[in-house]
């Protein structure tokens, strides 16, 4: 049970970081209490902005002793509400935004060590300055921070080749709920000495500890890319194209994104982007090869056209054109905002089942609410589709959004039937917590609750997130 912090407790917290970094006025706190989609607007008596691991540790010691709830926040781009305090007004926000140091880059061992508040973009740039690649790449990369990326086990567009945030991390420093610091900043690629503690904190969404530093994996920077925007007749054809591209590219396929025609329509209309192809097609694929054998993309496309997996394609002739293709992909979510309400589902199914999933989910949603517009796009290569449904034309936005849970029920039934996940990338946070009993076995939940009790016996770390009561 957490307790409403007294004025004395608040003063003790503030003393750790200094008054300047203990924000209490409503205007100063506003940006920390509201998230990107405006689904959650929280309340808090205090936002703390520590600058060192030691300060985080002192804050947690006080929180543990006084039973005060702490909500860790990094870049506040999370899409499951985990970084926003509840409306009770008792929870304190601990922002990592001042802990932004790139502690070191070691090109010879291909590692980079950063504080948890370093933005993803800053990490990418520090890697590039050392002629290396940090391959995690999200549309939110200018704002999201490494601590948040690891805590949500973020995915993005290059998972196909490099894996998700979990796969890109070698070591962590974590402050535990009682204020102890676990120094797990390993640089090792091989270490089979007991349980994997690091992986417990990755994807835990701030419920088991606060990540303060991380050792990240780097890769050689690709010297060349071949990028194509491809018209495909159907998701099934896109899947065949995916297999073909993998076979013919020597495993150099680094991204394979599926986009519906509606996505091009929205970005053209609202964001002013130019279509890469003159041909209008029901579906498109944005595919990229990194360091391919020269002209591999041309061979893939020639064969795909002959086999009917593709009907048209444009290959980027310059870096600018490559960027133009990616801009379309990056603007999809934004463009949807101009079309009224959108009910989102960040789902995954086994890759080969994506076409069947799309057909069945579309039919189920159409039965549930005729006239919905399907903006299903995403990382086909990972079986991860952002199955976003735009409201029927002319419908009241509020009335549509009131159907959020009911439509989730309809879509998740199809997801689960295909052995999929109802949260492929964005986590559980607050948004999907009530579904944990539906998707996890009693044994799995028992282990999760056991870990939580062990690491956070007073339930002060992000209470009411991820785990069901």
Residues near ligand FAD, by CB under 6 A: 36, 71-79, 82-83, 96, 116, 138-140, 144-145, 147-149, 151-152, 154-156, 205-206, 210-211, 333, 425-426, 429, 462
340: how many CB neighbours lie within 10 A of its CB?
A: 17
Q: Which residue is nearest to ligand FAD (CB)?
A: 148
CB closer to ligand FAD, 76 vs 336: 76
CB closer to ligand FAD, 39 vs 236: 39
CB closer to ligand FAD, 35 vs 226: 35
CB closer to ligand FAD, 234 vs 459: 459
In the bound complex, what is the minimum distance in angstroms from residue 171's beta carbon to ligand FAD?
A: 14
CA-to-CA distance for 161 and 253, rounded, in angstroms?
A: 7
In the bound complex, what is the minimum distance in angstroms from residue 7's beta carbon to ligand FAD?
A: 25
**Residues whose CB falls within 8 Å of the CB of residue 391, separated by 6 or more in sequence, listed in order:** 339, 340, 341, 342, 372, 373, 397, 400
Cβ-contact 46, 22 below 8 angstroms: yes
CA-to-CA distance for 332 and 264, rounded, in angstroms?
A: 8
CB closer to ligand FAD, 70 vs 315: 70
CB closer to ligand FAD, 40 vs 400: 40
**Residues whose CB falls within 8 Å of the CB of residue 193, separated by 6 or more in sequence, listed in order:** none
Q: Indicate the SS3 state at residue 41.
A: strand
In the bound complex, what is the minimum distance in angstroms from residue 82's beta carbon to ligand FAD?
A: 2
27: how many CB neighbours lie within 10 A of its CB?
A: 7
**Residues whose CB falls within 8 Å of the CB of residue 18, separated by 6 or more in sequence, listed in order:** none
In the bound complex, what is the minimum distance in angstroms from residue 131's beta carbon to ligand FAD?
A: 25
In the bound complex, what is the minimum distance in angstroms from residue 141's beta carbon to ligand FAD?
A: 8
In the bound complex, what is the minimum distance in angstroms from residue 34's beta carbon to ligand FAD?
A: 12
In the bound complex, what is the minimum distance in angstroms from residue 158's beta carbon to ligand FAD?
A: 10
CB closer to ligand FAD, 158 vs 281: 158
Spatial strand order in the sheet of 70-73 = 22-23, 47-48, 92-95, 70-73
Pairing status of strand 253-260 against strand 373-379 = antiparallel
């Amino acid at each position: 049970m957490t307790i409403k912090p007294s004025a004395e407790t608040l003063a003790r917290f503030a003393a750790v970081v200094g008054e300047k970094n203990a924000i209490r006025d409503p205007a100063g706190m506003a940006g920390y209490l509201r998230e990107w989609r405006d689904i959650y607007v929280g309340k808090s008596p205090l936002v703390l902005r520590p600058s060192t691991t030691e300060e985080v540790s002192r804050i947690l010691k006080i929180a543990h002793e006084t039973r005060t709830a702490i909500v860790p926040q990094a870049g506040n781009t999370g899409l499951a509400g985990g970084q926003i305090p509840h409306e009770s007004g008792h929870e304190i926000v601990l922002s990592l935004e001042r802990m932004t140091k790139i502690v070191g880059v070691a090109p010879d061992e291909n590692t980079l060590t950063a504080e948890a508040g370093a933005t993803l973009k800053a990490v990418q740039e520090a890697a590039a300055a050392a002629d290396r690649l940090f391959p995690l790449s999200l549309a939110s990369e200018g704002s999201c921070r490494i601590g948040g990326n690891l805590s949500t086990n973020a995915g993005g567009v290059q998972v196909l080749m490099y894996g998700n945030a979990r796969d890109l991390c070698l070591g962590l420093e974590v402050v535990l709920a009682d204020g102890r610091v676990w120094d797990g900043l390993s640089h090792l690629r091989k270490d089979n000495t007991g349980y994997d503690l690091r992986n417990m904190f990755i994807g835990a969404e701030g419920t088991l500890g606060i990540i303060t530093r991380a050792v990240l994996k780097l890769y050689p920077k690709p010297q060349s890319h071949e990028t194509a925007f491809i018209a495909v007749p159907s998701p099934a054809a896109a899947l065949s194209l995916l297999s073909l591209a993998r076979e013919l590219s020597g495993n150099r396929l680094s991204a394979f994104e599926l986009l519906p025609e509606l996505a091009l329509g929205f970005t053209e209309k609202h964001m002013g982007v130019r279509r890469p192809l003159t041909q209008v097609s029901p579906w498109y694929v944005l595919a990229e090869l990194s360091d391919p054998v020269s002209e591999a993309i041309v061979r893939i496309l020639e064969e795909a056209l002959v086999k009917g997996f593709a009907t048209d394609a444009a290959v980027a002739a310059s870096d600018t054109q490559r960027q133009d293709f990616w801009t379309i992909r990056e603007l999809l979510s934004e463009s949807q905002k101009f079309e009224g309400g959108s009910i989102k589902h960040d789902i995954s199914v086994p890759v080969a089942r994506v076409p069947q999933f799309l057909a069945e989910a579309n039919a189920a949603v159409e039965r549930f609410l005729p006239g919905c517009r399907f903006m299903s796009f995403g990382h086909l290569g990972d079986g991860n589709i952002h199955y976003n449904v735009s409201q029927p034309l002319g419908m009241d936005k509020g009335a549509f959004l009131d159907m959020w849970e009911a439509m989730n029920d309809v879509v998740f039934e199809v997801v689960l039937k295909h052995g999929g996940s109802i949260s492929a990338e964005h986590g559980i946070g607050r948004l999907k917590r009530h579904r944990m009993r539906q998707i996890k076995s009693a044994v799995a939940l028992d282990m999760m609750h056991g870990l939580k009790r062990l690491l956070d016996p007073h339930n002060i770390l992000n209470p009411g997130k991820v785990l069901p009561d």
